[in-house]
Amino acid sequence: MPPSSPRPVRLRLLPVCFTLAAVALAAGVGASVALLLPAGPPSPTSVAVTPSAGDLLRLQHAAFRAARPPVAAVPGVIQPGDTFAGALQRLGAPRDEAVAAVAALAGSMDVQKLRAGMGFTADLSAPAAGQPSRLAGLSLRSSPTRALSLTRDAGGAFRLHVFDEAVTDETAVAAGPIRGSLYEAAVRAGADGRIVADAARLFSHKIDFSRDLHPEDHFRLVFDRKVTETGRTVETGGLLFAELESKGKPTRFYRFRHEGRDQYFDETGKNIKGFLLRTPVDAVRITSGFGLRFHPVLGYTRMHQGIDFGASTGTPVFAAGDGVVEEIRWANGYGHWLKLRHAGGWATGYGHLSAYARGLRVGQHVAQGQLVAYVGATGIATGPHLHYEVMNHDQKLDPKGARVPQGALLAGRELAAFKVEKARLDEMIARAARKADGAMQTARTGDGGGSLARGRL
């Protein structure tokens, strides 16, 4: 019979300040951990250490692992359709011990609903030659804020240790030079993919990524997030501020609640949401401009009535403006084609698509920046790219030179309220910059990858 599930030992991280002389890891009953403090005052060569909450968490976790008998730490991954017991047996754990371990875990996690891809480490030992392996322990992270560890007590039963981290709300500032792409640089500096995608869509109103960005241009993103004591991001909130400096000229966007929803405005209170995006795809190069050109497939010169953006197949394509889906069809040389009708006689077209967004249909209303399709190489194309057209009353115009309507300007009480919010964000950014500068001076990474300033700014 597998041993009954024990009551878990729950360790809560508390602020601790002490002089750490030694850490004794006892491998006997209860896998106890002794923190040995000096009886008298420290010697002149003693070093006072104040561990952070994250350091303490890692120390506790290492202590429980080190308290086990000599074992081989075998990494495992939950496969689709796996049971936890089955995954442990696949690594070499006996069936009865795998079942007992899962029963011990059941008090602190749902062992029936496992996420495919979840990792864990099984500690396996072979007590005698020719004997089967034994499951000595187990460790895993069941959530971003909880780590679990199993050890054996004197009777051989599994003892569960639960390590919980507190979560705090903070405002983070990711900043640095652009090396590679904006996405790569921002992620390297601590922003997540969703925040970078939001910022890229904002900048696409004003900046041509294929021509306006250069190496060493700078960016700064301010966003809310929930973070654990060890610095692990649990959840990312909205983008509060975005700045991109190109050729020494900064472009800044501030979030402000207007007409019941969050919108973005420049420093003067002008809504940055222009009528049409300058680039409806996250691409960094134009492969063909508007005008006469020698067609690379047909072999003769003819009018090219749009712009081609080079991008890999499957790259998302966004609606350039609010509008209605007018056409979804096969358009011969343009391949899979999409046309959106906007206000004031304006329209945009998207060609060579590999697929349309799920559920997209003729007559459907779409919002600016909404995912509508994916880049492909259908029709007459030498490789994957987006053919993008802008039309006004069916006359095709150069998307780079078309004079489209601009965003609205705040006024009166709304402008005054915006200025107050702008001042608050500016002060927050200034404090974060001073904090980041101090951190960079004390610990330089040497890779020029940007920085992330943390805390309740």
What is the number of other CB atoms lying within 10 angstroms of the CB of residue 362?
12
pLDDT at 51: 55
Phi, psi at residue 173, to the nearest 5°? -125, 115
Residues 102 and 47 in one domain: yes
- Residue 4 domain-assigned (yes or no): no
Which residue reads 């691409």 in tokens?
A: 283
Residue type, 427: E
CATH of the domain at 100: 3.10.450.350
| CB contact at 8 A, 370 and 330 | no
Give the residue-averaged pLDDT of 197-207. 79
Residues 6 or more apart whose CB falls under 8 angstroms from that of 162 comprise: 8, 9, 10, 11, 108, 146, 147, 148
Residues 360 and 257 in one domain: no
Phi, psi at residue 400, to the nearest 5°? -80, -20
- Residue 3 domain-assigned (yes or no): no
Residue 65 sits at the vertex; the CA angle it makes with 88 and 109, to the nearest 5 degrees, is 50
Share of the chain above pLDDT 90, in %: 22
pLDDT at 219: 87
Residues 323 and 388 in one domain: yes
Give the residue-averaged pLDDT of 393-413. 80
Q: Which of 134-138, 202-206, 404-408 has the highest mean pLDDT?
A: 134-138
For 235-275, what is each residue's pLDDT tens digit? 888 899 999 887 778 889 999 988 788 888 989 888 877 77
Label residue 29 by pLDDT band (50, 70, 90).
very low
| Among the ranges given (43-52, 300-309, 320-329), the one the predictor scored with the smallest mean pLDDT | 43-52
Q: How far is CA 210 from CA 204, 207, 317, 378, 421, in A?
A: 11, 9, 16, 23, 32
Share of the chain above pLDDT 70, in %: 73
pLDDT at 25: 35
Nearest to 422 by CA among 243, 248, 244, 172: 243
Residues 319 and 418 in one domain: no
Give the residue-averaged pLDDT of 65-77. 71
pLDDT at 283: 60
pLDDT at 187: 82
Q: Give me the helix-helix angle, 84-91 and 95-105, nearest 10°.
A: 140
Ramachandran sector of residue 124 (left: φ over 0; alpha: ψ -120 to 50; beta: rest):
beta
- Residue 314 domain-assigned (yes or no): yes
For 132-150, what is each residue's pLDDT tens digit? 788 988 999 888 888 899 9
Residues 310 and 236 in one domain: no
Label residue 378 by pLDDT band (50, 70, 90).
very high
pLDDT at 330: 95
The answer, yes or no, to whether residue 387 has pLDDT greater than 70, is yes
pLDDT at 35: 31
Residues 74 and 191 in one domain: no
For 151-172, what is each residue's pLDDT tens digit? 888 888 899 999 888 888 888 8
Residue 4 or 134, more confident: 134
For 54-68, what is each residue's pLDDT tens digit? 566 556 556 555 554
- Residue 49 domain-assigned (yes or no): yes
Rounded-to-integer distance, Cα 265 and Cα 245, Å: 16
Residues 240 and 187 in one domain: yes
Residues 155 and 187 in one domain: no
Residues 312 and 218 in one domain: no
| Among the ranges given (35-39, 353-357, 396-400, 434-438), the one the predictor scored with the smallest mean pLDDT | 35-39
Range of the domain at 195: 168-274+410-453
pLDDT at 145: 84
Q: How far is CA 330 from CA 107, 276, 307, in A?
A: 56, 24, 19
Q: DSSP for 308-354?
A: EEE--TT-EEE-SSSEEEEEEEE-GGG-EEEEEE-GGGEEEEEEEEE
Of 164, 180, 203, the last residue of a domain is: 164
CATH of the domain at 388: 2.70.70.10
The answer, yes or no, to whether residue 455 has pLDDT greater than 80, is no
Mean pLDDT in the chain?
77
- Residue 404 domain-assigned (yes or no): no
Residues 6 or more apart whose CB falls under 8 angstroms from that of 155 comprise: 3
What is the number of other CB atoms lying within 10 angstroms of the CB of residue 350?
27
Label residue 17 by pLDDT band (50, 70, 90).
very low
Rounded-to-integer distance, Cα 84 and Cα 368, Å: 45
Give the residue-averaged pLDDT of 269-298. 71
Using CA atoms of 183, 450, 145, 13 in order, give the dihedral in degrees to the nearest 10: 180
Label residue 40 by pLDDT band (50, 70, 90).
very low
Residue type, 39: A
Of 141, 164, 187, the last residue of a domain is: 164
Rounded-to-integer distance, Cα 95 and Cα 135, Å: 10
Give the residue-averaged pLDDT of 203-211. 70
Label residue 372 by pLDDT band (50, 70, 90).
very high
- Residue 329 domain-assigned (yes or no): yes
pLDDT at 290: 64
Residues 82 and 135 in one domain: yes
Residues 159 and 179 in one domain: no
Residues 308 and 379 in one domain: yes
pLDDT at 209: 66
How many structural domains does the chain have? 3
| CB contact at 8 A, 174 and 221 | yes
- Residue 308 domain-assigned (yes or no): yes
Nearest to 66 by CA among 100, 33, 101, 20: 33
Of 164, 193, 226, the last residue of a domain is: 164
For 118-137, what is each residue's pLDDT tens digit? 999 999 887 666 677 889 88
- Residue 189 domain-assigned (yes or no): yes
Give me the residues paired with residue 339 across strands: 327, 349
pLDDT at 400: 77
Label residue 456 by pLDDT band (50, 70, 90).
very low
- On the CB side of 44, CA atoms within 13 Å amount to 0
Nearest to 345 by CA among 306, 277, 396: 396
Give the residue-averaged pLDDT of 57-85. 73
pLDDT at 304: 74
Give the residue-averaged pLDDT of 293-321. 77
Nearest to 318 by CA among 367, 255, 387, 381: 367
